[in-house]
Amino acid sequence: MINTKQKLILIATILVLIGAIVWSYDYPKPTEKEEQSKKEPEKEEFQEGVWPEATWSKYVNDELGFSIDVPDKIYGYYGCDPKKVIRVPVKVFEDNKNGIVYISQEYYYISEYDNELRQYVGECEKTANSLNSFLGGWAISIRTVKNDEELDDFIKENYGAGCYAGNRKSWWQEGVYEITIGGWDQWENLGTTDCPVNYKYKVLYIPEKNKFMSVKLGQESTFQTDPGTPPYQSYDGRMIDSFRFE
């Protein structure tokens, strides 16, 4: 008959054997491809050779009352290796409550940069773009105004205290006018002027609906193909020219 001490020894032996079996079991490990996918884009995201033609779709915002054409993919920000070129999807982020729609790349890659070493260090992380961490792109503002004075007020608040609604000319859509911003010219010092508008913009006004659109387009192209891969294409022109009040 097994006494208490022998029972304890037997139990301990069994536990040791079980532990050895578990320890020696070859659990499935993440493949090299799976580990790499957490740090770098999929192979098809990297662009090599001729840039493919963009596929276009029409974005419609019924609540704010406008539409605009957007391309499917663009030259994206890859903050991990300046020598690599990636293509990323275009995404629209809606903030209808505040009357703003953002258009930008769906995600980007970022890595820490060491200024002393002059190189990227650490892991390359894929980061989703969002309203809370918005990177680049356009911010299209839609506002309802009662008169020209309210239009002037918006321009002053968003472009500079010295800016105002200048000349207007007919847009391609009937009843819509393109507004130029007055208050600054190329001979003024940007550091002292109250209207530092030295970039492209678009302000469209439809009096019949008491509504206008405003977007700062920047000094260079925002939506484009790889600048180093001919033939280079900028999509900004087609996008803004397609804007329509619905």
Taking only the tens place, the pLDDT of each residue in 8-28 is 454 445 444 444 443 444 434
Instruction: Give the residue-averaged pLDDT of 53-64.
Output: 95
Per-residue pLDDT, 48: 72
Instruction: Give the residue-averaged pLDDT of 209-213.
Output: 94
- Stretch among 62-76, 87-101, 217-231 having the lowest mean pLDDT: 217-231
* Integer-rounded Cα radius of gyration of the chain: 28
Per-residue pLDDT, 101: 96
Per-residue pLDDT, 198: 84
Q: Say yes or no: 25 and 93 in one domain.
A: no
Per-residue pLDDT, 236: 96
Place of tokens 């530092």: 196
Total count of domains within the chain: 2
Chain centroid to Cα 30, Å, comes to 31
Q: Is residue 177 situated within a structural domain?
A: yes
- Stretch among 91-100, 149-158, 177-186 having the lowest mean pLDDT: 177-186
CA distance linking residue 1 with residue 3, whole number of Å: 6
| pLDDT at 37 > cutoff 60 | no
| pLDDT at 162 > cutoff 80 | yes
Non-local (6+) Cβ contacts of 226 within 8 A are: 47, 51, 75, 85, 232
Q: Say yes or no: 151 and 223 in one domain.
A: yes
Please report, in angstroms and rounded to a whole number, the separation of the first and last CA atoms in the chain: 92
Q: Say yes or no: 99 and 9 in one domain.
A: no
Q: Is residue 112 situated within a structural domain?
A: no
Q: Say yes or no: 164 and 97 in one domain.
A: yes
pLDDT category, 45, cuts 50, 70, 90?
confident
Q: Say yes or no: 19 and 140 in one domain.
A: no
Please tell me which residue, 115 or 33, carries the higher pLDDT value. Answer: 115
Q: Is residue 230 situated within a structural domain?
A: yes
| pLDDT at 36 > cutoff 50 | no
Q: Is residue 160 situated within a structural domain?
A: yes
Q: Say yes or no: 64 and 139 in one domain.
A: yes
Q: Say yes or no: 15 and 61 in one domain.
A: no
Place of tokens 């002292």: 192
Chain centroid to Cα 226, Å, comes to 16
- Percentage of residues in the chain with pLDDT exceeding 70? 78
> For residue 10, what are the domain limits?
4-32
Q: Is residue 190 situated within a structural domain?
A: yes
Chain centroid to Cα 150, Å, comes to 30
Residue 179, domain CATH? 3.40.1000
| pLDDT at 30 > cutoff 90 | no
Q: Say yes or no: 66 and 139 in one domain.
A: yes
Q: Is residue 80 situated within a structural domain?
A: no
Q: Is residue 65 situated within a structural domain?
A: yes
Q: Say yes or no: 65 and 144 in one domain.
A: yes
Instruction: Give the residue-averaged pLDDT of 222-240.
Output: 91
Per-residue pLDDT, 188: 62
**How buried is residue 167: exposed, middle or buried, by Cβ count under 10 Å (0-12/13-18/19+)?**
exposed
